[in-house]
Amino acid sequence: MLISQFQSAYSPSKELSLDESLLHFRRRLNFRVYIKNKKSRYGLKFFELTTSDGYLLNVELYSGSVKEDDESDNTKTEAVVMRLMKPYLMKGHELFMDNYYNSYELSEKLLSFKTHTNGTLRSNRRSNPKKFS
């Protein structure tokens, strides 16, 4: 309900950003994550879609396992991106993301939904065309 209020209260500009954040949480929980390079090593991981000025548009809590999608050809990260971007596809947005999410196939898929992507691309992704290796 909160996310639907966020989405209805604000019409975002062209630029959107996708990233993850970690909420410090030390108690027992089966989907709590451990990231050794973070200052707060234990916590709850969130995938967030925001505007360029930081307004939260969509959020998803990482719960340890991926929901079953009817789109079985998606990787786990592609599925997260597509779920978060669903209300904003076909509207001409630009999505900024880091190399954790970005792939050649995802960029092509988003472009078919009139959404441009910006970000770094890992050179060792299996789905990259040979000319990017």
- Can you tell me the mean pLDDT for 85-110? 92
- Residue type present at position 126: R
**Looking at the 3D structure of the chain, how many domains does it have?**
1
Q: What angle do CA 36, 43, 102 make, to 5 degrees?
A: 70
Range of the domain at 69: 2-122
Q: Report the distance separating Cα 95 and Cα 109, nearest Å.
A: 13
**Domain for residue 22, yes or no?**
yes
Here the tokens at position 41 are 């090593």
- Nearest residue to 44 (alpha-carbon basis) of 67, 61, 65, 27: 61
Tens digit of pLDDT for each residue in 81-97?
999 999 999 999 999 99
Tens digit of pLDDT for each residue in 41-72?
778 888 999 998 888 899 998 877 655 554 55
Here the tokens at position 51 are 């505007």
**Domain for residue 133, yes or no?**
no
Q: How many Cβ atoms from other residues are within 10 Å of residue 80's Cβ?
A: 21
**Domain for residue 65, yes or no?**
yes
pLDDT of residue 65: 65
**Domain for residue 132, yes or no?**
no
| Residue 127: band (very low, low, confident or very high) from pLDDT cuts 50, 70, 90 | confident
**Domain for residue 127, yes or no?**
no
pLDDT of residue 118: 94
pLDDT of residue 20: 86
Residue 73: pLDDT over 60: no
Q: Report the distance separating Cα 20 and Cα 2, nearest Å.
A: 19
Q: Where are the alpha helices (DSSP H) in the chain?
A: 2-9, 76-85, 104-112
